[in-house]
Amino acid sequence: MAALAPTSCLLYRELCHRELGTPPLSSGGACSSVAICGGGVDSSRPGRGRRARSRGEVKAGPFWQSASRPTSIEMEAIATMEDFDRILAASQEISQVVIVDWMATWCRKCIYLKPKLEKLAAEYHPRVKFYFVDVNKVPQALVKRGNISKMPTIQLWKDGEWKAEVIGGHKAWLVLDEVREMIQKHL
């Protein structure tokens, strides 16, 4: 069945446009527009006519993934001691958990881990707020306040106090699992 009859082709073209939500083409050609409007029947393999997905067609995702929910949330930077104090005071007022990623731009593990933490931030948004501190760009008094000796160090702060930390010197998926456990314990 290499070609469809003209009437079948017109019906198929109309169905194709309804499915894709596009306006019908005005070309009068029989089956040449089937490929344009969204995929046709695979006639190269007899008895195996299956519909090929067109380029513009969208495959539906799982129902639990909402289109409005972001997949990652960019972490905010903490640049000064005043920023840090303000963040801790604000989180204390609403009893919100704060995660602080102490990192450096020269640290490969830190750079690798940051986007993964941003995806984790999307999972816990808005109950947990994620921040990062580049230890080379802040006053050393702030680094001493966090008691940072290794990087990356991911700390959990709640009610203005340090509660727990994970030093991320091992595999990223293990670090993320430890951070999840730390968050679950203090939520």
pLDDT single digits (tens) 65-110: 555 667 889 999 999 999 999 999 999 999 999 999 999 999 999 9
Where does the chain hold its CATH 3.40.30.10 domain(s)?
Answer: 76-186
pLDDT tens digits for the chain (187 residues)? 455 445 555 555 565 555 555 555 544 444 443 333 444 444 444 555 555 555 555 555 555 555 566 788 999 999 999 999 999 999 999 999 999 999 999 999 999 999 999 999 999 999 999 999 999 999 999 999 999 999 999 999 999 999 999 998 889 999 999 999 999 999 8
Q: Is 16 a catalytic residue?
A: no
Within 13 A of 65's CA, how many CA atoms are on the CB side?
5
DSSP string, 31-97: SHHHHHHH--B-TTSTT---BPPPTT------TTS-TTS-S--PPEE--SHHHHHHHHHHHHHTT-E
Three-state SS for 146? coil
76-186: CATH architecture = 3-Layer(aba) Sandwich (3.40)
Q: Whole-number mean pLDDT of the chain?
A: 78
CA–CA–CA angle 76, 78, 79 (5° rounding): 130
Q: Is 107 a catalytic residue?
A: yes
